[in-house]
A and B are shown apart, each in its own frame.
Chain A
Amino acid sequence: MPEPEPLVIDDLHVAFGPVNALDGLTLTARRAEITAILGPNGAGKTTMMRCCTSLIRPDSGSLSVLGHEPGSPQAAEATGLMPQSAGAWVNIKAGELLHYMAGMYADPIDPELLIDALGIRSFARTTYRRLSGGQQQSVNLAAAIIGRPRLVFLDEPTAGMDPHARHHTWDVIEELRRDGVSVVLTSHAMDEAARLADHIWIVDQGRVAIHGGVAELTAEASLEDVFLAHTSDRADASFQPSSDQTPSRQTSTGRS
């Protein structure tokens, strides 16, 4: 029996009051690939991540994480999450957090190895809240992969990082793919998506606006131009959050 794709989302709907956070989102992430999900603020990326970890129950649609229900023991065991928010107790030390996360798994990566490999050693004994944004991100990345997951969700993994740290993080993400880990990442950085992604899904107002491989999407314009052409400008005064007032732009330019 073939192994299921790591993430399959089909016609997902989530509404918060009058706002449709997800409005028929449909996308797939493939095994041992890096899947980038791009979209403006409020496009539904974090809501999608929260559905994948069962923090939010969709109003309708289906969602499969490694062939299992989100939040099921099988999905939780094999999934790593790097959340966008800080995600740590204010008074825990960086190294202490990683040892805590390792304690959730029977055969984790040795936290001390990760501390060295991700350049955390110099601040491993520093309280998490005293770390810079980039240092916190490094700790969060280590925590996401410490359980040797099959699938990792990285919510804006390089936000706040300096260029050195960004490139180092990109190397780690590429090594995850090399070793067979499926990666789903969200980002606002077009260069990040263009460098890393095997497949890009541009999401706007809770649904996929366009998707494809980097070469397909950028055949006639830069990725940033494609992004701008297919997403809403939140600064536009005429913008309406309700999706039923916006035209459908579900366009597939590549594999799905």
Chain B
Amino acid sequence: MSALDLHPAPRAASPAARIRNHGLTEARLVMRNGEQLVLALVVPIAILVAGKYVGDRVGLPLSMLGPSVLALAIWSTCFTSQAIQTGFERRYGVLERLAATPLGRNGLLAGKALAYSLISALQVVILVVVAVILGWRPVGSALAWLPMLLSVILGMSSFSLFALALSGSLKAEVTLASANLIYLLGLAGGVMWPLKDYPSGVRTVVALLPTTALGESLRAWGDGVAVWWPVLSLALWTVVLGLVARKVFRWVS
């Protein structure tokens, strides 16, 4: 030990360096987790492959499945993966340790946003390539890109805040079970199926969900159509879930 100089000389790295450090580390750790990889890529790719061969027969052609699967990937990563990861970070005292570092709480949130944005972006690129190989041909329209991109950013934000609200208030095991159940509910609640296909009795409720807003935005983009109501819906969800997360999130369980 005598070789070490332990004289105090604390100096925090720059905020950007700390956020990059956290974001890249957490992204690497999440991608190392096999279960998360299944949620992130295997399930969406399986849906795309199934859609190519049987989609037309069940009313889910590849033109609809392509953008829906992108919404699914964002939903699974930003909500489900993040909720489970954060729940166990809290359980294992990771957040307790990080709270005492220069990263700080805002840095932690920004680092997580960076991690899951990176993972989602990588997922979306891989899934677009797979979908195109399978025969998906998005119509594309310069006008449709703007609301779609805004919806994706707001969707990632609102799903992340939902994940933090859940994982920051429940036990890790309860978060694990709840996040997987809510993943399936989201899948059925607007992520995969167009709003117009829901029975009229539940359509109004489904239309209010953030999962529906992101799914509809991506499907409209795939058809070359610009729709703006999902942007408004997701912006409202981001504000509401941000307030909820701020209220209920606890750093230690």
A50–B9 Cα gap in the complex (Å)? 24
B14 to chain A, nearest CB (A): 8
Establish whether residues A113 and B17, one from each chain, have CB atoms under 8 Å apart when the complex forms: no
- Interface of A, secondary structure class, is loop
B229 at interface, CB cutoff 8 A:
no
User: Interface readout for B11-40 with A: 1 if CB under 8 Å, 0 if not?
Assistant: 111100110011001000100110000000
A145–B4 Cα gap in the complex (Å)? 11
B247 at interface, CB cutoff 8 A:
no
In this complex, the interface size class of chain A, counting residues with CB under 8 Å from chain B, is 35 or more
A79 at interface, CB cutoff 8 A:
yes
A44 at interface, CB cutoff 8 A:
no
A101 at interface, CB cutoff 8 A:
yes
Establish whether residues B12 and A87, one from each chain, have CB atoms under 8 Å apart when the complex forms: no
Q: Choose the segment among A175-183, A188-196, A226-234 that binds chain B (4+ C-beta atoms closer than 8 Å).
A: A175-183
| B1 / chain A contacts, CB cutoff of 8 Å | 117-118, 168, 171-172, 175
Establish whether residues A101 and B101, one from each chain, have CB atoms under 8 Å apart when the complex forms: yes
Q: Choose the segment among A102-110, A216-224, A245-253 that binds chain B (4+ C-beta atoms closer than 8 Å).
A: A102-110
A134 at interface, CB cutoff 8 A:
no
| B58 / chain A contacts, CB cutoff of 8 Å | none
A206 at interface, CB cutoff 8 A:
no
| A176 / chain B contacts, CB cutoff of 8 Å | 6
Which residues of A (115-162) have their CB < 8 Å from a CB of B?
117-118, 143, 145, 147-150, 153
| B4 / chain A contacts, CB cutoff of 8 Å | 109, 113-114, 117, 175
| A88 in complex: contacting residue of B17, B22, B33, B97, CB < 8 Å | B97
| A178 / chain B contacts, CB cutoff of 8 Å | 6
Select the residue from A80, A89, A180, A181 with max chain B CB neighbours within 10 A: A89
Which residues of A (47-79) have their CB < 8 Å from a CB of B?
50, 53-55, 71, 73, 76-79
| B209 / chain A contacts, CB cutoff of 8 Å | none
Establish whether residues B6 and A103, one from each chain, have CB atoms under 8 Å apart when the complex forms: no
Establish whether residues A148 and B8, one from each chain, have CB atoms under 8 Å apart when the complex forms: yes
| A106 in complex: contacting residue of B11, B96, B103, CB < 8 Å | B11
Establish whether residues B102 and A83, one from each chain, have CB atoms under 8 Å apart when the complex forms: no
Establish whether residues B102 and A113, one from each chain, have CB atoms under 8 Å apart when the complex forms: no
Establish whether residues A89 and B89, one from each chain, have CB atoms under 8 Å apart when the complex forms: yes
A149–B102 Cα gap in the complex (Å)? 11
Establish whether residues B92 and A76, one from each chain, have CB atoms under 8 Å apart when the complex forms: no
B89 to chain A, nearest CB (A): 7
| B89 / chain A contacts, CB cutoff of 8 Å | 89
A87–B9 Cα gap in the complex (Å)? 24
With contacts A50-B252, A91-B33, A92-B29 taken as known, whether A149 is within 8 angstroms of B8 at the C-beta atoms is: yes
Chain A residues within 8 Å of B, Cβ to Cβ: 50, 53-55, 71, 73, 76-81, 83-92, 96, 100-101, 103-107, 109, 113-114, 117-118, 143, 145, 147-150, 153, 168, 171-172, 175-176, 178-181
Chain B residues within 8 Å of A, Cβ to Cβ: 1-14, 17-18, 21-22, 25, 29, 32-33, 88-89, 92-94, 96-97, 99-104, 251-252
Closest CB pairs A-B (n = 4): A85-B93, A103-B21, A81-B100, A87-B97
